[in-house]
Structure 1
């Protein structure tokens, strides 16, 4: 069983960097008021549409952005719904402008599990469905590669607020066979739904002074039971619900998370590719 775990980030998710240099490392350009006339976005134009996606989720420049995220994993069975575990960490997105309106980004995810509504890492917890002590495995996910091309992404706008989300479905063979791993495996096939999205401001997207707009990440995942919950093929699913913020500097991140990242992987923040080999949850 893989000893490293991630949320199979679709996201679409810190190293030795001083606070003085953090803004340069973490944000392609500091957030600032527009000094030039706004450049209106025609969302009906495929090129404008994908540029808005890249600017909100990541950056138009060949650079890296980071999101601090935090949320709760719920368990839902035919009989009950319960909060099971909290999660938190940093998502690194390394962006590259491919030309012709297309962009590539690569995700790296580093984090850990907590009690719900806490940033304190835990090594074990009592499963509220089974009463059994479970031992979660820290989050280390990626690299995951995504290419976005000019097309009509579905945006919702209300005044200066704007957001979009994408439904992504994954279905693949489970590497943990139920015969060999009866309590960790949910079956021969894994079926997952991800509904991640980004919220921001039209005024930031139309600001020519910014390569990267401030943004809030929405995390909504429906997954089979995670292996370390030891729920086997009991009826039910996990629902991951969380939020993340594109950070401008380390002060935007929980001190507990920054301390964990700096200790676990020095250089995570400053590197565009903190590790090479892909890690996977299942």
Structure 2
């Protein structure tokens, strides 16, 4: 009888559970990854995080999809919905000899007109009245090693057991780092000498999927939020304010064939940039360092001309409250 790789993993997983109670089955092959839920185990967290990030069947690639909203935030006025975005990633996973997992990924994101939904080549900046050229995100690569330790300590996920029987993993990072866009060179693109960025993620999965050794990747519903300076191509300089990315994401079933589920314009726009963005890196290609989107911008773009007398756009002056309590709670701004 022929046994598929996926079926073999399932059998091995069952063997591991039986071996815990039956010495006669002690020689049964162990599962390739841990499935018995142990929220405080670094090894279980490592394998589960790997299943959330890719397909542990090394013969397969996993397509991840994301979609969301971008908002502009400035003092003294309402937050503005500026545009939407949509993108995807293609990931390949490899097991390393020490038990860790190597995640090899390419990802691409395009910006869409908030009214028409069309992928934008240009955008009318409502803060400046200027039409600017839109630069999509293309991370090639964004690789990662998923292991039991992080920064010298065992990595234990921030898990919640939800009332509906699902579990949610939450993770976030708050960053403050030197800006690759040096202000003296990138006057219109740079937000300043340092970039302040916050990212927050959630992944929600079912207990049944977590415990199922046939699930070499974990179906999930995720969320991603990023608070970041103005995007460089908006040409806002060091104007006060930030951008909010708010999105949801999910892995798509079907391996690399899941690309056929994505919108035609998304695939066409990706092909126009580089065909290799439609597949994950291979081990042979795992030689390049990761680059931030700002580092990629510096390499691939040129500083915009600075018009005479230009200065970064400023938010409106603080509105004055005249003391009329009947106006409390009413909207200020446009």
Structure 1 length normalisation: TM-score? 0.78
Q: Secondary structure at the match of 1:268?
A: helix
2:239 pairs with 1:234:
yes
**How far apart, CA to CA, are the structure 1 residues paired with 2:121 and 2:196?**
27
Cα gap change, 1:93 to 1:168, in 2 (>3 Å): farther
Aligned to 2:53: 57
C-alpha deviation, 1:253, in angstroms: 1.9
Aligned to 1:166: 171
Provide, for residues 147-187 of structure 1, a one-character-per-residue CA deviation record: whole Å limited to 9, x for no partner.
Answer: 22223111122233222121123332223222333221111
Which has the larger strand fraction?
A: 1
Cα gap change, 1:78 to 1:137, in 2 (>3 Å): same
C-alpha deviation, 1:99, in angstroms: 4.5
1:215-226 → structure 2 map (5 Å cutoff): 215-226=220-231
**How far apart, CA to CA, are the structure 2 residues paired with 1:76 and 1:179?**
25
**How far apart, CA to CA, are the structure 2 residues paired with 1:264 and 1:83?**
27
Cα gap change, 1:97 to 1:125, in 2 (>3 Å): same
Aligned to 2:196: 191
Which has the larger helix fraction?
A: 2
**How far apart, CA to CA, are the structure 2 residues paired with 1:259 and 1:173?**
35
Where does structure 1 lack aligned partners over 5 or more consecutive residues?
A: 1-27
Worse-matched range after superposition: 199-208 or 98-107 = 98-107
Aligned to 2:96: 98
Cα gap change, 1:252 to 1:157, in 2 (>3 Å): farther
1:1-282 → structure 2 map (5 Å cutoff): 40-62=36-58, 63-80=60-77, 81-116=79-114, 119-150=117-148, 151-158=155-162, 159-248=164-253, 249-273=258-282, 279-282=291-294
Worse-matched range after superposition: 227-236 or 195-204 = 195-204
Q: Is the 8 A contact 2:141 2:281 kept in 1?
A: no
Cα gap change, 1:236 to 1:190, in 2 (>3 Å): same
Aligned CA-pair RMSD:
2.9
Aligned to 1:7: none
**How far apart, CA to CA, are the structure 1 residues paired with 2:213 and 2:69?**
36
